[in-house]
Amino acid sequence: MTSPASPPRPPTLEDVAKRTGVSKDTVARVLRGDFAYSRPAYAKRAERVRQEAERMGYRPNTAARAMREGKFSTLAIALPAQSVGKGLVFPPDLMGKLADGAARENLNLVIADFWLDRIEHDSDYVPKVLRDLSVDAVLVMWTRRMSDAAQQRIIESDLPVIWINDRRSYDAVYPDEERGGYEGTRRFIEQGHTHIGYCSFAEDIHYSVRDRRDGYIRAMEEAGLPLIELPRTIQRANRPQPRVDQLCKWLDQSDRPTAVMSYGSQESLSLVRAAGKLRLAIPEDLSMIYFGAMNTATQSAELDIIKLSWRDIGTRAIGMATQKLQAGSSKRQPGEAIVSELVGFGSTAPRPGTN
């Protein structure tokens, strides 16, 4: 009885080098993509190496290289645990640009769940990506305020960290929320509105809650106009009807706002419902602008939007991460605020009674 034949040995760097007549180091540099093509002959040789490696079925042993060099060519995206499936964290434009940028830099992306309650209160808990140190850098994306203890735990990993959507003076890229609130309010002022309101149901758990309102206040104070803010009496996000009722009372006054800046889509859609109940036409009777990402509900309502530039933020975050990897994790980079875009869909108009 004959024994089964052993499977063929996979080709190695040495095999490709022998077949192409170059050194093993040259093959490795060509396949990593860092071979210098300063002369046509070099470029031709590099292409021959790539073609022969592909024909032979050579696959680089990235695990062995990672152990040898201490580099994994991998970035971790740190998210609050269980948030991805709920759709609470990543806009598609941001994830798409992170993936595109990582691919251009020949880097992989992995999702790392961080249990916030545990990282904040359990000194023995360390997320796997920080415990194993199996990535080269971490991109931290939060939509809520994180405790100092949790931030310190991430920093102590000694991995390069880029903070996304978090206004910091260094190693961070985030939307310029204050400027967005200012520019949106200025649009109303330029249209002749003097009664401009600000509407927010958000709890103060993210810098955008303060900065968007600060932008509104700055524009109003520069124009010498009175602030008209919705009283903060309704807090729960899962109870829309009390919010609509409160907005109806706010808008059903003789000196009601004729234009409203909204913190986000929840506020804007509640405003649309309230305006409908009061028979206020948009934008003839009530102009509206809100912050956020364009979605089916708000687009179908044709509402103007301060569109957060997630594509630019994703591109810049990858750029900052690669720069830190090249320069060393200890070198800080200045934080960058990315300007948002005011996109019009027809929900703003001059103040009622003006030409």
Lowest-confidence pick of 45-49, 178-182, 234-238:
234-238
Higher per-residue confidence, 319 vs 130: 319
pLDDT, residue 336, reads: 96
Give the pLDDT mean for 2-15.
68
Domain-located, residue 89: yes
pLDDT, residue 153, reads: 77
Mark whether 183 and 291 lie in a shared domain.
Answer: yes
Closest CA to 173 of 317, 333, 327, 322: 317
Q: Furthest-apart CA pair in the chain: how many Å? A: 99
Mark whether 77 and 146 lie in a shared domain.
Answer: yes
pLDDT, residue 321, reads: 92
Q: Tell the residue number behind the tokens 């109940």, with chain if given.
A: 277
Query: Phi and psi of 307, rounded to 5°?
Result: -85, 115
Closest CA to 311 of 98, 146, 151, 140: 98
The CB density around residue 140, as the number of other CB atoms within 10 Å, is 22
Higher per-residue confidence, 295 vs 245: 245
Residues listed for the chain = 355
Mark whether 291 and 214 lie in a shared domain.
Answer: yes
pLDDT of residue 5 exceeding 70: no
Lowest-confidence pick of 4-18, 82-96, 170-184:
82-96
Rounded Cα distance, 256 and 229, in Å: 11
Domain-located, residue 26: no
Domain-located, residue 344: no
pLDDT of residue 339 exceeding 90: yes
pLDDT, residue 87, reads: 46
Domain-located, residue 16: no
Mark whether 223 and 102 lie in a shared domain.
Answer: no
Q: In which order are the strands placed within the sheet that holds 287-292?
A: 228-229, 196-199, 259-262, 287-292, 304-307, 341-343
pLDDT of residue 238 exceeding 60: no
Mark whether 245 and 319 lie in a shared domain.
Answer: no
Higher per-residue confidence, 16 vs 68: 16
Mark whether 255 and 329 lie in a shared domain.
Answer: no
pLDDT, residue 289, reads: 96
pLDDT, residue 271, reads: 94
CATH at 302 = 3.40.50.2300
262: three-class secondary structure by DSSP: strand
Q: What is the mean pLDDT of the chain?
A: 82
Q: Residue 176 — very low, low, confident or very high, per pLDDT cuts 50/70/90?
A: very high
pLDDT, residue 35, reads: 57
Lowest-confidence pick of 92-106, 192-206, 263-277:
92-106
Tens digit of pLDDT for each residue in 20-51? 888 877 877 777 666 555 567 777 778 888 88
Mark whether 303 and 181 lie in a shared domain.
Answer: yes
pLDDT, residue 71, reads: 63
When mean pLDDT is compared over 98-102, 168-172, 222-226, 245-249, the highest value belongs to 222-226
Mark whether 196 and 257 lie in a shared domain.
Answer: yes
Number of domains in the chain: 2
| CA dist list (Å): 301 to 73, 186, 273, 276, 295 | 44, 22, 11, 12, 10
Structure tokens at 106: 């020949």
Give the pLDDT mean for 129-149.
75
Tens digit of pLDDT for each residue in 280-335? 999 999 999 999 876 655 565 689 999 989 999 999 999 999 988 887 666 889 99
Q: Residue 250 — very low, low, confident or very high, per pLDDT cuts 50/70/90?
A: very high
Q: Residue 91 — very low, low, confident or very high, per pLDDT cuts 50/70/90?
A: confident
Domain-located, residue 41: no
pLDDT, residue 325, reads: 85
pLDDT, residue 267, reads: 92
Higher per-residue confidence, 15 vs 63: 15
Domain-located, residue 163: yes
Mark whether 93 and 160 lie in a shared domain.
Answer: yes
Mark whether 184 and 170 lie in a shared domain.
Answer: no
Domain-located, residue 84: yes
What secondary structure letter does DSSP report for 280?
A: -
237: three-class secondary structure by DSSP: coil
Domain-located, residue 189: yes
pTM exceeds cut of 0.85: no
Q: Strands, DSSP E only, in 107-154?
A: 108-114, 137-141
Closest CA to 32 of 43, 46, 48, 45: 46
Mark whether 290 and 206 lie in a shared domain.
Answer: yes
pLDDT, residue 264, reads: 92
pLDDT of residue 268 exceeding 60: yes
pLDDT of residue 201 exceeding 80: yes
pLDDT, residue 240, reads: 67
pLDDT, residue 88, reads: 53
Q: Strands, DSSP E only, in the chain?
A: 74-80, 108-114, 137-141, 161-164, 172-175, 196-199, 228-229, 259-262, 287-292, 304-307, 336-338, 341-343
Residue 325, domain extent: 70-174+311-338
pLDDT, residue 38, reads: 59
> b vs e for 59-92, b when ≥16 Cβ sit within 10 Å of the residue's Cβ?
eeeeeeeeeeeeebbbbbbbbbeebeeeeebbbe
Mark whether 157 and 249 lie in a shared domain.
Answer: no
